[in-house]
Amino acid sequence: MIKPQFFEDYAIGAVRETFGRTITETDIVVHAGQTGDFYPHHMDAEWCKTQDFQQRIAHGTLIFSVAVGMSAGDINPEAFSYGYDRLRFIKPVFIGDTIRVRVSIKEKREHKKPGHGVVSELVEVFNQRQETVLACEHLLLVRKKS
């Protein structure tokens, strides 16, 4: 049974965290094929050896997509994703890095749609060294109880 969570039920400061997921070469290749982003930073191991990071890096959009999937817990029939703000790719993610996601309720505010509010979640993605590799805000449009 799905337990609905209304606007009033969200508590600022509440946190949820995911388990880890290791990024593989296959992840990068599949993402390149889906998006058409075959830039050498992601695909050319020999060229990357001549660059600052010395190895291929995962697409920022891949890490964002994986993080969204990792943090999308139970379905809440009273809310839906309203978008993402302030997306930043802070550090590179390499093949073999393991990422995890922490989501914190940052803010709640009114919305112009009657009977609804916006919940802002801070989404932070960390690598195995506890370094922040990506951060953004996820906005939810959530129905109110009343």
Q: pLDDT, tens digit, for every residue of 12-64?
A: 999 999 999 999 999 999 999 999 999 999 999 999 999 999 999 999 999 99
Whether residue 70 lies inside any domain: the answer is: yes
What range defines the domain where residue 55 resides?
7-143
Residue 37: both structure tokens together: 């982003």
Cα angle: 27, vertex 85, 73; to 5 degrees: 55
- Is pLDDT above 70 for 1? no
What is the pLDDT, as a whole number, of residue 72?
87
DSSP type of residue 73: -
Q: Read off the CATH number of the domain in which 107 is found.
A: 3.10.129.10
* Domain contains 2: no
- What is the predicted pLDDT for the residue at 2? 67
Structural domains of the chain, count: 1
Place of tokens 């388990």: 19
Q: Residue 86 carries which side chain, given as an amino acid letter?
A: R
Predicted pLDDT of residue 4: 87
Percent of the chain with pLDDT over 90: 92
Q: Flag whether 1 is in a domain.
A: no
What's the predicted TM-score (pTM) here? 0.93
* Stretch (H or E) spanning 64: helix 60-71
Give phi and psi for 38, each to the nearest 5: -105, 30
**Chain-wide mean pLDDT for the chain?**
95
Mean pLDDT (whole number) for 58-77: 92
